[in-house]
Chains A and B, each alone.
Chain A
Amino acid sequence: MAKYLLLKHYRGGPTPHVDFGTMDQWTPAEVDAHIQYMRDFAARLEGTGEFVDGQALSPEGTFVRYDGEGRPPVTDGPFAETKDLIAGWMVIDVESYDRALELAGELSAAPGPGGRPIYEWLELRPFLTAAPTVTE
């Protein structure tokens, strides 16, 4: 089994395949349908023994860095409009890369305006694993 991170972006990534606008422009029913699709997807993966974790992130955020001994950390933000912005993630534990692709494809088909798939770009990243025992 291998763990993968599915990253959802508010911004960034390749040019959207269809322009589905921001969710605040959708009807409440369309928003509900979209969220329900995500929930159902996660529940289904729990049923297949492939779900590990899922979280959503607020678009609000700040860059923080160390600024020297005895000084408070420096902050920079809110994020610039051009920044790649992560909206949330799901972690899956699957048998193969192909299975990870298949699931990412399904999640990307979540419904948007008019109940049509939004063709959302999702970022798929493999986890680094622990070292195997047998190496030579």
Chain B
Amino acid sequence: MNETLLRELIPAVTGVLVRRGVDFATAEDAVQEALIRALDTWPQDPPADPKGWLVTAAWRKFLDELRSDTARQAREARVAAEPAPGPADTDDTLQLYFRCAHPSLSPASAVALTLRAVGGLTTRQIARAYLVPEATMAQRISRAKRTVSGVRLDAPGDLATVLRVLYLVFNEGYTGELDLAQEAIRLMRQLTALADDPEAAGLLALMLLHHARRPARTTAGGALVPLAEQDRSRWDTALIAEGVRILQAALARDRLGEYQAQAAIAALHADAPAAAETDWVQIVEWYDELVRLTGSPVVLLNRAVAVGEADGARAGLAALAEVPPAVPRRAAVEAYLRERDGDLGTAARLCAEAARAATTLAERDHLTRQAARLNAALRP
């Protein structure tokens, strides 16, 4: 059994313990111990019934903890008197998504807890992915669990916060041995199987359409390749087809949301055989929808880029005038539009300014190269 299949069992195993009356935080700890043992022993000695093995191991771990702590005797009695199992596995797993993304948690805490309790990752794996010490990540997770342990989930949870958390995981991308984008897609697939919702489908489509471009997004040396310059033959057509199919089914239900609109933009890019054949007019229309849905200044900024492509650099600059000055990457967008408008001097100055303000290394390097290219072109 591979590690991904093992991880897929984790939420259901936690669900079994919780249904037996164990509180969420304790159950999750016991399951994590069982997971670590499974990772250690299964390669040599694979069990016939993996889920049964995990339940037994986690349950024993829980009983050990209970016995070692006499102060918990009262709880043991309570657990023993707990009523019979209630809802089915799928409901348990969906409840787990809601709990781990509970609005009382900060985004980073919700991300860490979701990856551990729903994703079945170990604390060490999550710590490495986010480049913090394991002890720090362990504390972040245990604080998050304390926060949501007592939360009663009688009402349906907030799906929007779950989607937000998985979007954050996806956007973190690929930072080492653990592929967070892949993991976010796996969890989104599981979630859309449990919860029938057009925005959830929209987010899955968005992830698939972006993931499809990943092979073309960076050079072998790790430099960013802008969308217009990507080798489109390296895009994953199977992922694109799946993303488009999921998106179309979601849009047909006529409950538009921001993820569906973002996915529609990604789909229009994916649909163009060459950058020059991109349907920018339709993309601008989708940005108009996104502005209406979110009111986000970042969306306004991206819209200005699309307007520049659809109606020319002057129109793009006019659209840019509506974007507040403090929006990140505004100078980079203005530089691009100024260059297209023929003003290389201003473009070079703005590129250098944008490079100094960049928050990512790849973006800074890209903008520095752009500034250098423009300055070289300006020299007589």
Residues of A that sit less than 8 Å from B by CB: 1, 3, 45-53, 93, 95, 126, 128-136
Contact = CB atoms under 8 A, between A and B. Distances in A.
A95 B131 CA distance: 15
Interface stretch (B34-42, B135-143, B248-256, B336-344): B135-143
A48 to B, nearest CB: 7
A50 B136 contact: yes
B224 A48 contact: no
A26 B236 CA distance: 65
Contacts of B173: 130-133
Q: Chain A: interface secondary structure?
A: loop
B171 A133 contact: yes
A131 B167 CA distance: 14
* 6 residue pairs, one from A and one from B, having the closest CB atoms: A49-B140, A131-B362, A1-B108, A128-B361, A49-B139, A133-B173
A136 B269 contact: yes
Q: Kindly name the residue among A1, A48, A53, A93 whose own CB sees the greatest number of chain B CB atoms within 10 A.
A: A1
Interface string B131-161: 1110111011101000000000000000000
Given A3-B131, A51-B133, A136-B227, A46 B139 contact: yes
A14 to B, nearest CB: 21
A134 B224 CA distance: 13
Contacts of A50: 136, 140
Given A1-B108, A3-B131, A129-B360, A136 B136 contact: no
B106 interface: yes
Interface of B: 106-109, 112, 130-133, 135-137, 139-141, 143, 167, 170-173, 175, 181, 206, 210-211, 214, 224, 227, 262, 265-266, 269, 302, 305, 358-364
Given A93-B130, A95-B108, A134-B206, 9 more contacts: A45-B136, A46-B139, A49-B109, A93-B132, A128-B360, A129-B360, A130-B172, A130-B360, A133-B211
A126 B181 contact: no
Nearest to B209: A134
Contacts of A135: 227
B171 A134 contact: yes
Given A131-B362, A136-B302, A49 B170 contact: no
Contacts of B175: 130
A48 B362 contact: no
Contact of A51 (B136, B262, B305): B136
Contact of A52 (B133, B269, B361, B364): B133
A51 B266 CA distance: 37
B139 A47 contact: yes
A90 B20 CA distance: 44
Contacts of B135: 46, 51
Nearest to A94: B108
A31 B224 CA distance: 49
Given A1-B130, A95-B107, A136-B265, A130 B136 contact: no
B339 to A, nearest CB: 18
A47 B136 CA distance: 7
Contact of A133 (B137, B181, B359, B364): B181
Contact of B359 (A47, A48, A49, A126): A126
B224 A131 contact: yes
Given A48-B143, A49-B140, A134-B171, A129 B265 contact: no
A37 B266 CA distance: 51
29 contacts: A3-B131, A46-B135, A46-B139, A47-B139, A48-B139, A48-B140, A49-B109, A49-B132, A49-B136, A49-B137, A49-B140, A51-B136, A53-B133, A95-B106, A126-B359, A128-B360, A129-B361, A130-B172, A130-B175, A130-B360, A130-B361, A131-B173, A131-B361, A131-B362, A133-B211, A135-B227, A136-B266, A136-B269, A136-B305
Nearest to B133: A52
Contacts of A131: 173, 224, 360-363
Nearest to A128: B361
Contacts of B181: 133
